[in-house]
Amino acid sequence: MPTYKAPLRDMKFVMNELLEADQHLAAMPYYKDNDTADADLLGQVLDEAARFVETEVLPLNQVGDREGCVRDEHGNVTTPSGFKAAYRKFCDAGWPGLDADPQWGGQGMPHLVSIAMNEMITGANVAWGMYPGLSHGAYSALAAVGTDELKQLYLPKIVSGEWSGTMCLTEPHAGTDLGIIRTKASDNGDGSYSITGTKIFISAGEHDLTDNIVHLVLARLEGSPAGTKGISLFLVPKFIPASDGSLGERNGVVCGSLEHKMGIHGNATAVLNFDGARGWLVGEVNKGMNHMFIMMNAARLGTGLQGLGLGEVAYQNALAYAKDRLQMRHEPRVSREAADPIIVHPDVRRMLLTGKAYTEAGRALALWLALSLDTEHHHPDEAKRKEAGDLVALLTPIAKAFMTDNGFNVAVQSQQVFGGHGYIAEWGMEQFVRDARIGQIYEGTNGIQALDLLGRKVLMDGGKKLQSLAGTLQAFVEEHEGDEAIGDYVNQLGKAAQQLGSLTMVIGQKAMSGPEGADEVNAAAVDFLRFFGHVVYGYLWARMAKLAQDKIDGGFDKDGFYLGKVQTAKFYFAKLFPETKALAATIKAGNDPLAVDDRAVFGWEPDLAHA
């Protein structure tokens, strides 16, 4: 059975040494007033979170995969053994409201801590973690744009964990393309709306963990314009509560079936049929897409964390196996048995270091974004809020796509360390691969993330957000290019950052050059995101290596933690960062090699008469 230990040491290194989080948080009155800015306190919360996750959540991971969720003939869904009891303990300890506002019963902790805990939860049991994860998304959207009445009725119950939340976007014919959804809303004239339609792929869509489920549903109000500009957001509770929060009648939303999936079996992926269900408008009419993006951005970072958590747990187990498994001789010998632990073989080390390098950089990125979220929401200085918000907007698609792609690849390579045993269910490695695969698909496929990054976040504002980050990188490069420890990395980083800028210019020019411009953006986007991801990870690894080398030079590396950082940075720049060389070439190749003859290559004739 796989094991998992929350990477507390590394989390605290990132928070305290890399980000110097307590100094930043102390500058924000919200955290100062809530007494939640202190590094020691945050560390204690993380320790407690780790204990909870390792004790209560981890043991349910394989059970959840084996049992899955079961739907009865009435549409009721039972979660796997132990899920409900663990969820209850989770609520009793106040974890659902960790970073929620105290006015709704939350603890007012920074995102920094809740995001670190989310990494732990997904590492231990991603399917279980999705139930509170979705609730958190619903909380964010409702808190941001709900009416006071809706907030007062729903938020305390969501923050306490008594009720859970969902995001209802996808329909059978509409996934990426929400502009064509058909679910309808009509005004009941009493402040409520009547919602009718079918939503699919609704994670945590129906279950037995909570008394009530609060669905946030995209639907089209009668008479609204076509496309994304005619979509509104509605709150549709499973049971309609009275104003005191007591549960009233069952609403017209039923789970029609559960999907049989590749992984995340412990989470109920529901088809939800809304049949004249009563709903309440959240935010403004026809602004549903904008409002939903509040949830989606949080969900995208949350999905990135799944890649991180699953990469970490897969790496941890591969590392343990590699120390234990004796196979083939090595010179010099390190065992008196007939074979040596496979960790001595360089190719095994390559696979393990890939896991370590990607997860530790991913953690640094995730917590950097978490602190930036805190800054965006709570810094007293508007310019700081804006700067942080821009960074979050720019890097969220990278956090989602790069972290889930790397997480999946790390899970696959960690499975490979196990040889044949990696393919066998009882070892648990194949579950990590299956569970990690969904992160690349949902909450906007990674291809869509890439378009969001290149099209919307980089090109649409004329490269301003990118230039702001490039300035930070440039300053770092100039400061350290002669550095003995990291000068070589910094040079590589500086060249890649410049190349990112020039590639952006080239794509931007092509994008504006004619009717095929959009195709050029689409053709380059995925490789561009990956290139950008390496620039970000390269920056973070160079910074971590510098910090660590200083500690070593100061005589503070008692357990080798800092030497580990320095050597992993070296590995990253030698073995992973060079992917940028291939990506630069494929980005430059543009759309031309993709603009093939449809009939010849794909056996497909566009029906141009219909166009």
CB 192 within 8 A of CB 279: yes
Tokens of residue 577, six digits? 């960062």
Q: Measured between alpha carbons, how far is residue 317 from residues 32, 331, 387, 468 in Å? A: 39, 25, 39, 39
349 binds a second copy (CB under 8 A): yes
**In this chain, which of 94, 105, 447, 455 binds a second copy, going by CB under 8 A?**
447
Contact positions with a second copy (CB under 8 A) in 371-410: none
Q: Which residue's CB is nearer to a second copy, number 284 or number 426?
A: 426
Least Å distance, CB 522 to a second copy, is 4
440 binds a second copy (CB under 8 A): yes
**In this chain, which of 147, 186, 196, 327 binds a second copy, going by CB under 8 A?**
327
CB 291 within 8 A of CB 283: yes
555 binds a second copy (CB under 8 A): no
What whole-number distance in Å separates Cα of residue 90 and Cα of residue 102? 18
Q: Which stretch binds a second copy (CB under 8 A): 78-86, 117-125, 183-191, 426-434?
A: 426-434
**In this chain, which of 51, 229, 350, 495 binds a second copy, going by CB under 8 A?**
350
Contact positions with a second copy (CB under 8 A) in 63-102: none
Q: Which residue's CB is nearer to a second copy, number 375 or number 446?
A: 446
Q: Which residue's CB is nearer to a second copy, number 250 or number 323?
A: 323
**In this chain, which of 35, 74, 249, 338 binds a second copy, going by CB under 8 A?**
338
Q: Tell me whether residue 447 is exposed, middle or buried, using C-beta atoms within 10 angstroms of its C-beta: 0 to 12, 13 to 18, 19 or more.
A: middle
What whole-number distance in Å separates Cα of residue 313 and Cα of residue 311? 6
Q: Which stretch binds a second copy (CB under 8 A): 145-153, 274-282, 380-388, 603-611?
A: 603-611
229 binds a second copy (CB under 8 A): no
**In this chain, which of 51, 250, 495, 581 binds a second copy, going by CB under 8 A?**
581
Cα angle: 116, vertex 267, 356; to 5 degrees: 40
Contact positions with a second copy (CB under 8 A) in 188-227: 200-201, 226
Q: Which stretch binds a second copy (CB under 8 A): 16-24, 107-115, 124-132, 522-530?
A: 522-530
What whole-number distance in Å separates Cα of residue 287 and Cα of residue 293? 10
Total residues interacting with a second copy, rule: CB under 8 A: 112
Q: Which residue's CB is nearer to a second copy, number 117 or number 450?
A: 450
Least Å distance, CB 9 to a second copy, is 11
Q: Which residue's CB is nearer to a second copy, number 189 or number 603?
A: 603
Q: Which residue's CB is nearer to a second copy, number 32 or number 345?
A: 345
What whole-number distance in Å separates Cα of residue 293 and Cα of residue 310? 25
Letter string b/e over residues 402-434, b meaning 16 or more CB atoms within 10 A of that residue's CB: bbbbbbbbbbbbbbbbbeeebeeeebbbbbbbb
Q: Measured between alpha carbons, how far is residue 12 from residues 108, 189, 233, 287, 437 in Å? A: 19, 53, 38, 39, 28
Site string for a second copy, 354-373 (x = CB under 8 A): --x-----------------
Q: Which residue's CB is nearer to a second copy, number 111 or number 265?
A: 265
**In this chain, which of 412, 490, 511, 542 binds a second copy, going by CB under 8 A?**
412
Contact positions with a second copy (CB under 8 A) in 526-545: 526
285 binds a second copy (CB under 8 A): no
Q: Which stretch binds a second copy (CB under 8 A): 138-146, 230-238, 503-511, 568-576?
A: 568-576
Least Å distance, CB 39 to a second copy, is 25
Least Å distance, CB 594 to a second copy, is 5
Cα angle: 499, vertex 501, 505; to 5 degrees: 115
Q: Which stretch binds a second copy (CB under 8 A): 45-53, 296-304, 367-375, 416-424?
A: 416-424
What whole-number distance in Å separates Cα of residue 517 and Cα of residue 402? 25
Helix residue ranges per DSSP H, 53-95: 61-67, 83-92
What whole-number distance in Å separates Cα of residue 611 and Cα of residue 601? 21
Residue type (1 letter), 379 = H
Backbone angles phi, psi at 213, to 5 degrees: -130, 130
**In this chain, which of 56, 312, 374, 430 binds a second copy, going by CB under 8 A?**
430
CB 80 within 8 A of CB 266: yes
Contact positions with a second copy (CB under 8 A) in 461-520: 515, 518-520
User: Sign of the C-alpha dihedral, residues 125, 131, 133, 134?
Assistant: positive
Place of tokens 């102390």: 26
Contact positions with a second copy (CB under 8 A) in 115-174: 170, 173-174
Tokens of residue 37, six digits? 């800015």
- What is the rounded end-to-end Cα distance, in angstroms, of the chain? 56
Q: Which residue's CB is nearer to a second copy, number 239 or number 561?
A: 561
573: which DSSP letter? I
55 binds a second copy (CB under 8 A): no
Q: Measured between alpha carbons, how far is residue 321 from residues 134, 183, 343, 517 in Å? A: 34, 50, 9, 50
Q: How many residues does the chain have?
A: 611
Q: Which stretch binds a second copy (CB under 8 A): 35-43, 382-390, 498-506, 584-592?
A: 584-592
What whole-number distance in Å separates Cα of residue 424 and Cα of residue 306? 22
Site string for a second copy, 233-272 (x = CB under 8 A): --------------------------xxxxx---------
User: Is 73 annotated as catalytic?
Assistant: no
Catalytic residue among 443, 479, 481, 516: 443
Residue type (1 letter), 598 = D
319 binds a second copy (CB under 8 A): yes
60: which DSSP letter? G
User: Sign of the C-alpha dihedral, residues 485, 488, 491, 497?
Assistant: negative
Least Å distance, CB 597 to a second copy, is 6
Q: Which residues are catalytic?
A: 443
